[in-house]
Amino acid sequence: MRIIQIAAAVLIVASLLALTYGGFTYTKETFELTPGLLMLTFEGEHQVHIPAWASAGGIFIGGLLLFVSRSTLKRPGSTTQFLTHKES
């Protein structure tokens, strides 16, 4: 269950960043070789927009995962207690 909590926290942080910045940009480089052994480099900057509804959905799903994973750990008879129980 600890992995689910970490994944939920990462999802919430990533969604908050996406909501704050609205997207990200990256540079794509392409190389072409011409017959005269001259190498040309073309750089193109691309921008990826992340909609606000997707960011809000990520925050909601991350919060839901965090809530469910914590309530599962506290519930008596859960599988985590079963796995940590040692018989004498």
Dump strand ranges (E) for 1-88. 23-33, 39-49
- The answer to whether residue 86 is domain-embedded is no
- The answer to whether residue 39 is domain-embedded is yes
Query: Which tens digit of pLDDT belongs to each residue from 42-73?
Result: 778 889 999 999 999 999 999 999 999 887 76
Q: What is the pTM of this model?
A: 0.63
Beta bridge partners of 39: 33
Supply the pLDDT for residue 54. Answer: 94
Query: Which tens digit of pLDDT belongs to each residue from 11-29?
Result: 999 999 999 999 888 888 7
Structural domain that includes position 42:
2-77
- The answer to whether residue 83 is domain-embedded is no
For residues 84 and 57, the answer to whether their CB atoms sit within 8 Å is no
* Number of independent structural domains in the chain: 1
Give residue for tokens 């190389």.
31
- The answer to whether residue 84 is domain-embedded is no
- The answer to whether residue 12 is domain-embedded is yes
